[in-house]
Structure formats: C-alpha cells, structure tokens
Structure 1
C-alpha cells in the first residue's frame, strides 16, 4: 500500500482466454506506452493460453493466472468471481482496474484522468460510447423484474459499459462481491441479464454518488473516427485481422475474409444527426 503522498500502486486486471489472446500484445504494449505513467502498475493476466503462461518470466510486471475459457456469456458474466478468487494478489494495491480484452490506449492517461481521487469518489466507470446521448428510457437496462439487475423505466441517469471498471481496491472488491452474488442468484433462477455483467453493473451504480464518470469522448469504438480526442479505443472485434466476432467466440472455426468484412462494413453514410446529438450531450459533461 502506498503512502498518501507517494506514487499510487495500481493493479491492472485483464482476461485473455480462448481466441481473445490475440488482443493481449495490443493491450499490453499500448498500456506500457500510455497508461498511468505516473503510477506503479502491475498487470494480472488471466489466461488459458499455454504459450503465454510459459512466458511468465518474459514480463517483469505481469502475474499470470491460469483460467479456463468459459463459454459465452459466462466468461463475461462471471468475471467478478474470477477476480475475487485471486484478490490476494492485488489487495495491497491502492487501486484496481479491469479493462476489456479489445482495449487499446491511444494517448497518455494520467492518474488525474482515471483514478477516483476526489474525496467523495471511490470508483470509476465510463459511459457506453455509442448511446450516452440517448434518453434514459432508451438505455438498454435489464427490464425483467425478476432479475437482480432490474431497473424500472424512469430510473437511472447514465448507462455504463463494463469495459472499464475500477477504483479504490477495497471498494472495487466490495463491488465485485455484490455483482458476483447477484449474478449467481439470477443463474439459480434461470435468468441471465440482458447485457450480462454490464446489466448488473448498472443496477449497482443506480443512485450512487461516489462514482467518477469518465467524459463521453474518453473512449471510442474503432470506427468512430470523428472522436479524435479519445484516449482509449475498443478495437473492432468483427475485423478480419482478428478473425471476426464469431471466430473469436469459437462459434465457428472459419475466419472472416477481408472481402467479407468489407462487404459487411461498407463505410456508412455520415450520420450527422447521431454525431450532433452526441456532441450536444457531451457539452453537459464538461
């Protein structure tokens, strides 16, 4: 644990199982270049990839944990259980953050940008980059009243995505415990929330006032080229350089071809209204 005035220590949690290991080097190299240069970072990599596991000594700041590749959607729904099982590895860190597999850092992110440093802040979440401009009744919350992730219409101020979740380590672990318990209760009742762990995350965040909300353009999807100030990008999982989304999830053994990808992702018309609504809404977050 760091002293108050010393350099913060940050645990970086990352899951790379199955074919998602293709993203690891993109993530690690960009994180080393841009992520929290003013902090002491240590990565905890959960993977089933034997080649990666054999390279443990290659990385001085990475601890590797063997983790089986759970079937979709359990690898995302049960991620908080995965973290809790290895929590002894990062309880000594000041902060802990999880980043999605397809995360790539584009610009320097300092502690003031990311960490919940203000007195009332304990956690850091980010807005889903494609829908933050919508009215709350259009947010894709879980609407099944039987689910522990249920949010009624008329409630909620933000829709948070699950690709970046972090905060003070104690608060992060408390959150993991709650989300894991709620996901398991749902499973016992044969319920899987609409957006899995993300649905439970949004229920957890409801009416809380201790969350640092990252600005709307902090993140972007790979194809949101107009968001040129974003510090972090989520790579396009459908892209042929990764084999395509179905290939990544092992739903097929056939990689998508460049021609197939281009056919499916022909450059759309400029959606001026969509971009204007996002820009206008973003002004209220400054």
Structure 2
C-alpha cells in the first residue's frame, strides 16, 4: 500500500526508511489524497485514546477542539477518554461519525503509576471493546494540542514515534533502561531509535500485543521491586527493539516548542501544552522542574 508512495516522494535531508524498510513519515513523503481515497474505500474507523486522570482533565477540551480541526479530518473517529473524573467532562457535541466515549477508570496516587497502568487499560479495552468498534488505535498524551494536519498517513500495522529529544542523538545517549535486573533492559550495543511513550498505535490486534507485552513485563519488574527508569516508555522501547514497528512517525508528530526548531522540521503537527508539572501532578516530582525542561526535556 505504501511502497509506491515511498518511491514517488523523496526527501534527501532526512532518513526516510529504516534498515528493515519501514517508512519514516515526514512532510513531503506521501500523497494524502491517494491515501485518503484508499482509507475511505475501506471505510476505516480510528480510535484515539487519551488519559485524563486527576487534574489532567483540564487539557481535554483544547485537545479535542484542536483534534477536530486537524486529526483524521473526514474520517470516522472515536475519542476514548480514560478518566477518574467523568463528572468533570461535559457533553461534547461532534459531527456525525465522530464521538467522545468516556471510560471511567480508577485513580492512582503516583503519576508514575498512572503512566504505567495505561498499558494495562489499553490492553484490556482493546480485547473487550475496541476490537469491535475501530480498525486502528492511536494512543497519545492528553497534555498536547494538534497544530497541523495528522491524517491516515500515520496508520499502519504498528507504529512508533521518534522522541523529539533524541531524534538526532547517538545510541549511547538514548535513555534506555540499563539495569540488567529490569525486563526493560537494553544492552549498550543494541537499539535502533528512541521512541516516545506518548505516541504509538496500529491495528487493534497489534496494539493489544504491544500493550500486553509491556504490562506483563512491568508486572515482572514490580514483583522484583524494580521500576523502569522511564516507566511505560522504557518497556515500549524494549518491545520495538525486538518487534520492529512497520512505520515510524518523525518528530513532526510529537514536538515541544521549548526546543530549537531544526531546518528540516517543516511542520509541527502535535505539540506539548506548557504547564507546571508539579501543580498538575499535585505533588513534587523528582528531577522535574518546569522552569528547566519542557514535557520531553531530560
């Protein structure tokens, strides 16, 4: 489906294909009209999952408003909102074929626990509900806003997104889990890219496999008293090391405006919303000063 697109659209300033021949999606590397026609013909349905837990509900309205302008425009979309505060979310009226689905879930004391439990919840709902309602799942963070077009060019069997802080970094700078005791451990001489935990997806069966793997590995570590350095992101990177994504999204699809904008970054499609991390998380988080780093800075 995508081979002809890759052959027809090339850029010489960025890496377009991985060593295992998975396309890396950048502006100018695809024809959206051709892709839209193909996906419309298949009557594709897309699910977009976000977690609005505790005070993170404050980001939801802007998230959906900007998604309605830029995300999968013209296609059927279910916004799956996992929240412990369903009463904080009012009725959101959307056009035909697009709707908000509220999924009430427990709250957790630590934000790290919320982050880690996402994999379990997406896994469970993929098997129980999503498989019957949508064809693809896109799993992202809610403290973001869409600022440019994000369409069916991102969809594939299973995709990951290049972390905006490491897209140009050498492997030795990747913040993989380096403790051998952890199931998320990646040896220093292994690793292709560093993927962001806040943007992945694929077909529902493939997302189920990914989240099931990550959740089970987390449980093993928890039994051994270990918590991976970057929580669910660490396990995601381990999964993609040995289960290669069939498509990779460039940093256009996940950006923080706190970074200097490189010349080759033609579009910023999905960007972090500035915030005070400690206030939103309602407790002090170690090594997390909002003055010294943005959402993705380390």
TM-score (norm 1): 0.78
Which residue is 1:18 aligned to? 54
TM-aligned CA distance change 1:39 to 1:134, over 3 Å: same
Which residue is 2:151 aligned to? 110
Which residue is 1:77 aligned to? 116
1:21-100 correspondence runs (5 A): 21-53=57-89, 55-56=90-91, 58=93, 61-70=99-108, 71-87=110-126, 88-92=128-132, 93-100=134-141
Which residue is 1:135 aligned to? 170
Once superposed, what is the RMSD of the aligned Cα atoms?
A: 2.4
Which residue is 2:213 aligned to? 178
Cα distance, 1:136 vs structure 2: 0.4
Cα distance, 1:155 vs structure 2: 0.3
CA–CA distance in 2 between the matches of 1:90 and 1:140?
32
**8 A Cα contact 1:78 1:183, kept in partner:** no
Uncovered stretches (5+) of structure 2, i.e. residues with no partner: 1-37, 294-298
Deviations for 1:202-252, whole angstroms, at most 9, x for unmatched residues? 000004344311123332103236356211112223xxxxxx111111116
Which residue is 1:164 aligned to? 199
Number of matched residues?
Answer: 243
**8 A Cα contact 1:56 1:64, kept in partner:** no
Out of 131-140 and 86-95, give the one that drifted further: 86-95
TM-aligned CA distance change 1:100 to 1:3, over 3 Å: closer
Matched, 1:234 2:272: yes
Deviations for 1:151-197, whole angstroms, at most 9, x for unmatched residues? 00010010001111100111011111111101111101100000000
SS in 2 for 1:206: helix
Detail structure 1 runs of 4+ shifted over 6 Å in the superposition.
none
Uncovered stretches (5+) of structure 1, i.e. residues with no partner: 117-121, 238-243, 253-259, 267-286
Out of 60-69 and 17-26, give the one that drifted further: 60-69
CA–CA distance in 2 between the matches of 1:57 and 1:129?
31
Cα distance, 1:72 vs structure 2: 2.0
1:237-256 correspondence runs (5 A): 237=275, 244-251=276-283
TM-aligned CA distance change 1:91 to 1:16, over 3 Å: same
CA–CA distance in 2 between the matches of 1:81 and 1:42?
20
Which residue is 1:283 aligned to? none
SS in 1 for 2:198: strand
**8 A Cα contact 1:156 1:207, kept in partner:** no
Matched, 1:214 2:253: no
SS in 2 for 1:143: coil
**8 A Cα contact 1:14 1:98, kept in partner:** yes
